[in-house]
Amino acid sequence: VRTPILERAARADDPNADVEAAFKRFGEAHPLGRIGEPEEVAELIAFLCSSKASFCTGADYRIDGGLLAGIGVR
């Protein structure tokens, strides 16, 4: 997900690195082909905090663009 932590990771080896190019490379590792946006995480949080999720209990929601599911598949 596009966050300051991911931006720091993009610049770990080169403080002048092109962050958007690094994000594109990071995204290519995801089955959805891109990194997530903070708003996408917020949408799930808003849903889970709403009455629409009143019957959801003990669930595990991955917001990773399929990254974990795709490990070892490619």
| Whole-number pLDDT of residue 70 | 76
Q: Using CA atoms, how far apart are residues 30 and 16, in angstroms rounded to an integer?
A: 25
Whole-angstrom distance, CA of residue 1 vs CA of residue 39: 10
Under 8 Å CB-to-CB from 63, ≥6 apart: which residues? 1, 36, 40, 41, 44
The domain containing residue 53 runs over which residues? 4-70
Give the CA distances from residue 64 to residues 54, 68, 72, in Å, rounded to whole numbers and listed in that order: 24, 7, 15
| 16-34 confidence digits (pLDDT tens) | 999 999 999 999 989 999 9
Query: What does the block give as tokens for 27?
Result: 């995204």
Number of separate domains in the chain: 1
Low pLDDT (below 70) residues in the chain:
72-74
